[in-house]
Amino acid sequence: MNRKQRPYDIILLGATGFTGQLTAEYLLKQAQPIKLALAGRNAEKLEQVCESLLADNPQANKPDLLVADNHNMASLKQLCAQTKVVISTVGPYTQHGEDLIAACVTQGCDYVDLTGEPQFVSLMQQKYGADATKAKVKIVHCCGFDSIPHDLGVLFTIDALCRKLSAEIMAQSSVSIEGFVRGHGDISGGTWHSAINAMPQWREFVRERRLQYQQHFNKRDICLVEKPTIRKLKDGWAAPLPTIDPMIVIQSAKRYSHYGKSFAYAHFGVVPQLHRLVLTGAAVAGIFTLSQFDKGRSWLAKQRPSGTGPMPEVRAKHWFNVEFVATVQTPQHQTIKQRALVSGGDPGYDETAKMLAESALCLLVEKDALPANFGIVSPAEAMGTTLIKRLQAAGISFELK
């Protein structure tokens, strides 16, 4: 079916989950109505969720409800053939995500998700990247708190430096950026399950990633600072943060020449007191150890059920900010500094749902304004500054310091 003739603009798969419902609610509140369908395995639960959403949003048009199974390729192909963009909130993605990616590529529809699973993203790139590029579709992982603030925050910082120096000078310069993540919030059950399922293969993945980052891309030296050191800041302690975000930033850096002739990125989490850093490190080490065993993963999974989340009044107290500190060494031996800050509300749920929905809307309504980058692409590759502008209009702050 011709893309323009498809009955739906967006299909949201996983609408019965907690983050899925928040994403659906955001889409239903859009001033410009879209042709939306909600999809999931259980028709009865879909109907219940839809009734609840419409009760809270009586002016919204009722979305269609579609039954589809993440492990039934025929139903997924039928789903993807009916829409321009698919949103998936069904994690862990290593267990439930691959068939939908394959269906999107074969049926020619764009896709966004909120995975933070590096092994999944890497595997999908290897298996479907070339076909997705050939089909001219955009498969965009990590469109939630992982990794929108970090990936687009670096792009925002780089663009500011280009205005100071020009893109041409930036392309000849050495660029180093550090990202410092601060906040108060809670991770979702889906993120928790994704993390503990990814941990058993983490060491192998890190080894493969280190070899990859040691390569030179188009005669450019693009690298991740693998072992940044713990350091004391004015407001606390910064420690290396082992998340997918640096991997996504590096992917964007490979694409864009104005990130520098050489580019390096280091990623930190900031905590107020040293003893909290020590306790957090001990907790992470304990979780990592338990996750190496089937019984340990099973016990950890029960501690935070998937599909649940805190009440709105609790989420209203949550916040995040990511500070970027860039240093540029120009060919003329100048040293240029630039700081930027990306900030918002509840990172694990409300802002993640907003980022995910705005990413899908960007692919839908801003298609002609987006970079001509196709395949399995990062948010910055797929949508660039157009998505930054949408997020700013939606209340997420991008500012220079």
Task: Return d(Cα 262, Cα 328) in angstroms, integer.
Answer: 10
In this prediction, residue 292 has a pLDDT band, given cuts at 50, 70 and 90, of confident
pLDDT of 32 reads 85
Domain 3-144+354-379, architecture per CATH: 3-Layer(aba) Sandwich (3.40)
Nearest-CA neighbor of 100 among 41, 29, 16, 48?
41
How confident is the model over 190-230, as pLDDT tens digits?
Answer: 666 656 666 666 566 556 555 555 554 455 788 777 667 88
Cβ-in-10-Å burial (0-12, 13-18, 19+) of 221 comes to middle
Length of the chain: 401
What mean pLDDT do residues 58-72 have? 93
How confident is the model over 78-98, as pLDDT tens digits?
Answer: 999 999 999 999 988 999 999
In this prediction, residue 189 has a pLDDT band, given cuts at 50, 70 and 90, of low
What mean pLDDT do residues 234-254 have? 92
Residue 237 forms beta bridges with which residues? 232, 271
pLDDT of 91 reads 84
Higher pLDDT, 359 or 311: 359
Domain residue spans of the chain: 3-144+354-379, 148-346
Task: Return d(Cα 244, Cα 148) in angstroms, integer.
Answer: 11
Higher pLDDT, 196 or 41: 41
How confident is the model over 148-179, as pLDDT tens digits?
Answer: 999 999 999 999 999 999 999 999 999 999 99
Cβ-in-10-Å burial (0-12, 13-18, 19+) of 35 comes to middle
Q: What are phi and psi of 57, to 5 degrees?
A: -135, 70
The model's pTM: 0.92
What mean pLDDT do residues 226-245 have? 87
Residue 112 forms beta bridges with which residues? 87, 140
How confident is the model over 341-387, as pLDDT tens digits?
Answer: 999 999 989 999 999 999 999 999 999 999 999 999 999 999 999 99
The mean predicted confidence, pLDDT, of the chain is 89
pLDDT surpassing 80 at residue 308: no
How confident is the model over 388-399, as pLDDT tens digits?
Answer: 999 999 999 999
